[in-house]
Chain A
Amino acid sequence: MTLTSDLYNSRSKIDFAPIWKRSLPISLGLVVLGVIITSVFGVNRSIEFEGGALFSVPVEQSVTVGEVRDVVGVPQARIQRIENADGSSAMRVQIPTELASEFDRVGADLNAVLIPGEQISRDTVGPTWGSQITQSAVRALVLFFIVVAIYLAIRLEPKMALGALVAVVHDLVLTVTVYSILRIEVSPATVIALLTILGYSLYDTVVVYDKVLENWIEPANRRKKYSDLMNESMNQVIMRSVNTTITTVLPVASMLIIGAFLLGGDSLRGFAIALLIGLLLGTYSSIFVAAPLLAWIKERYPDPLPEKI
């Protein structure tokens, strides 16, 4: 019997214990490292969070950044060339919010380098708007964690609620860390993608925990070590985890490859990268973080045994 056919028939006997022994401390260590990296280097925040004006101007190939800088005439402007997959190119011009009085003039002057017949896209964001949006999202997030923790504590177990939330925070922190290291711009699209990851990650963990709970109820399993029971349950749900990862990664990967790289579409890329990283992390954390963490908590702080009558 090969491993694949064992997996297919839910009869695999992978011993997760030695893997878990390493994966849990390594993952938690990475989270700490991620927090440090992110707080030192910060993230590359998009205009929505910084405030200011952003112009996107379709230009001919021959136009240089220097020429655009001359037209803009504002030393603080950030100018960047974007090459699209279809061979066209555009200039992104970002002007900080302190120079609000210059916005209209710059917008008008940029017509000089614009390909005739095309349009300039323009975003203007008030200086406090981004922080307001962020605040409302953070407030929603905190409330979400509280409500979900209560829900999971009731429907599953309080210890499971803790394990699930640690796994989610693990996924969020590491996704943001990747953004921080690769200097990918964090936009509202990224925030939405992060919220999605949250949902997937919890779904994965709930499925694993639900299986342990189901097995734990069997009287024959009560005497087993919790980590052994977790090991068995993990073998039972591993194919589900792999398969759902495949079905969720397929649409996201096609969004990334087709949407962002073949046809062009800057805004799609923002979603797809975070989603892809987060999805893979979500599957990883449900198997290698949430599961061993619960087993560790359960063995360290065992549940009181049911009283004998």
Chain B
Amino acid sequence: MKSHLFRAAALFLAALVAFIATLVSGNQPLLGLDLQGGVSVVYQPKSDNVTDEALDEATDIIRNRVDALGVAEPEISRQGSTIVVDLPGVEQQQRALELVGQTAELRFRPVLASVGVASPFPISEDCPQELTIPEDDDPAATVLLPSIDGELLCLGPTLLTGNALETASASIAGGLLTGGGNAWQVNPTFREGPDGIDLFNEAAVLCNTQTIECPTARLAIVLDGLVQSAPTINVPFFNRDQIQITGNFEAEEAQDLATTLRFGALPVELEAQQTRTISASIGTDVLSSGVTAGIIGLVLVAIFLLSYYRLSGLVAIVGLLISAMLLWSIISLLGEAFGLALSLSGIVGLIVAIGVSADSNIVYFENVKDAVASGKRVITSVERAYRNSISTIIKADVVSLIAAVLLYVLTVGAVKGFALYLGIATILDLIIAMLFMRPMLLWLAQTDAAQTNPRILGLPDNAVTAAMLRKQGGKKKSSGSGNQSESNKKAKK
């Protein structure tokens, strides 16, 4: 019968190992903005028929923009048909948000000079001396912008925009003869006609012949004030679908550039539906009150369970502890792997879970008590009561799970966070009921202490007597507990 104890201990140890591993790795739950302060914006596309791909792409582009701004720990996620941008901290974020929602334009500009590199070409006089700030990045102006590789480029007025492009792809160039191993190239395809390939060919002529408008023969592709690539134009005329941008591209670089060309601008027009600015002090207040309330609530529940159910109550408390350790690990993991933050609604979901978990234990313990009161032996009662209880617990938990899944799929924002943690906690409740609560009680029930004195399990101690009295068909009411233990002993013999 020791196997019960081992099984229960195994789950406890597994939870403990997960918890310690999480602590050691320095992984912590990611806190939502309502708990640490910051700016949160929910964007929604202006038009209704937007593809999933476009939304994913827009999410990626926004993420790149925010990263480029150097905001610490931004959280950008797609939720249904909305994109949620969460930026911790408040000071500089308002400006950041203005840039995030812009439908930026992909611009093709001639390179006038590469600053900092000795240039054989005459540097245009109107080249700015300092980096152009985003507000001054006018399409018709001459600007000084950095490239992805860190080169500083002086660029002339925009010759054409991303509107001229149809699509772009990345592929491996020229086969074996190129000799450079896996040399990747990018293949842009322009639209037909005067608004497409013709515009590009006009620019190509300027650059290929190295006129004063394009002395370096290079045409820069600029997005969000950053030069994505500045290839040299080798011929004056191109067919719209036979253009190759070559260079020492790695696979990833080539694919990124192709993506930028394809979705340079945000593929959808976004509208801010909700903007929240939460001051850091309010966030911290809420967090500390929430945590204090949670801990005090837990302690009260623990005291109640212990005083009412004795050792069984202790089993319930250890079960809650396992649940807490696993939740901490899972929440930390979700934060680390998917950037999922724990918000106030999530904490409420967890406090609720304390109640649900205790509930399952109580359903079980009360069933055991019923069985004992009806005269069954402690060990039999524990086994029998489990069958009835687990069916009740599963029914109730399935209802909770249905709620969690539907809410998670069909809603956004705070409700979604609540649903996620409610769902996780409900599944843990089932696991702990089956793999910890039952084996622990089975093990406890067959110990000598529990057999002779069921009171330590929080059970009525007149079990066997009641059974004997019933068999005799005599008095229905049991006598006081004074001679109770005696009859117990007799019964055992």
Q: Which of B273, B289, B348, B414 contacts A263 (CB 8 A)?
A: B289
In this complex, what residue of B is CB-closest to A137? B411
In angstroms, how far is the closest chain B Cβ from the Cβ of A173?
18
Q: Is A264 an interface residue (CB 8 A)?
A: yes
Let me know if B395 and A122 touch, CB within 8 A: no
Minimal Cβ-Cβ distance residue in B for A54: B276
The answer on a CB contact under 8 Å between B358 and A247 is yes
Q: Is B370 an interface residue (CB 8 A)?
A: yes
Would you mind naming 27 contact pairs between A and B with Cβ atoms under 8 Å apart? Answer: A9-B460, A118-B279, A118-B281, A122-B275, A126-B272, A132-B273, A189-B344, A192-B414, A195-B403, A195-B418, A203-B400, A207-B396, A244-B363, A247-B301, A247-B304, A251-B354, A254-B296, A254-B297, A255-B351, A258-B293, A258-B296, A259-B290, A259-B292, A263-B285, A264-B285, A265-B290, A271-B344
| Interface residues in A7-30 (C-beta closer than 8 Å to B) | 8-11
CB distance from B148 to the nearest CB of A (A): 34
Q: How long is the Cα–Cα vector from A253 to B298 in the complex, in angstroms? A: 11
The answer to whether B186 has its CB under 8 Å from any CB of chain A is no
Contacts of A126 in B (CB 8 A): 271-274
Which residues from 178 to 197 on chain A have a C-beta closer than 8 Å to any C-beta of chain B?
A: 188-189, 191-193, 195-196
Contact partner of A140 (CB less than 8 A), chosen from B276, B304, B407, is B407
How many residues does chain B have at the interface if contact means C-beta atoms less than 8 Å apart?
Answer: 73
A11-B373, A202-B396, A243-B362 known; A265-B285 Cβ under 8 A: yes
Q: Quick one: which of B290, B392, B403 contacts A198, CB cutoff 8 A?
A: B403
Range, interface on chain A = 35 or more
The CA of A237 and the CA of B366, in the complex, are separated in Å by: 8
Q: Does A200 contact B (CB under 8 A)?
A: yes
- Give Cα A25 to B369, complex, Å: 34
Among B290, B301, B414, which residue has its beta carbon within 8 angstroms of that of A189?
B414
- Chain A residues within CB distance 8 Å of chain B: 1, 8-11, 48, 56, 58, 118-126, 128-129, 132-133, 136-137, 139-140, 143-144, 147-148, 151-152, 155-156, 188-189, 191-193, 195-196, 198-200, 202-203, 206-207, 210, 214, 236-237, 239-240, 243-244, 246-248, 250-255, 258-260, 262-265, 267-268, 271, 275
The minimal Cβ–Cβ distance linking B138 to chain A, given in whole angstroms, is 24
B74 CB to closest chain A CB (Å) equals 19
Contact partners of B280 in chain A: CB under 8 A = 119
Interface residues of A, dominant DSSP: helix
The total of interchain contacts (Cβ-Cβ below 8 angstroms) comes to 234
A-B pairs with lowest CB-CB distance, top 3: A251-B297, A248-B355, A119-B279
Select one of B300, B304, B412 contacting A136, CB under 8 A: B412
Given contacts A121-B279, A251-B301, contact A214 B388 (CB under 8 A): yes
Q: Give B409's nearest chain A residue, CB to CB.
A: A140
Contacts of A132 in B (CB 8 A): 273
Which residues of A lie under 8 Å from residue B407 when comparing CB positions?
137, 140, 144, 195
Q: How far is the CA of A147 from the CA of B410 in the complex (A)?
A: 14
- Looking across the interface, which residue of chain B has its beta carbon closest to that of A248? B355
A251 touches B300 (CB 8 A): yes
Quick check: A9 and B297 within 8 Å, CB to CB? no
Q: Are A148 and B399 in contact (CB under 8 A)?
A: yes
A35 to B413, CA, bound (A): 28
Most chain-B CB neighbours within 10 Å: which of A11, A248, A267?
A267
Among residues of A, the one whose C-beta sits closest to the C-beta of B458 is A8
Which single residue of chain A is at the shortest CB-CB distance from B271?
Answer: A126
Q: For A123, what are the chain B residues with a Cβ–Cβ distance below 8 Å?
A: 274-277
A48–B34 alpha-carbon span in the complex (Å): 15
* B399-A202 in contact (CB<8A): yes
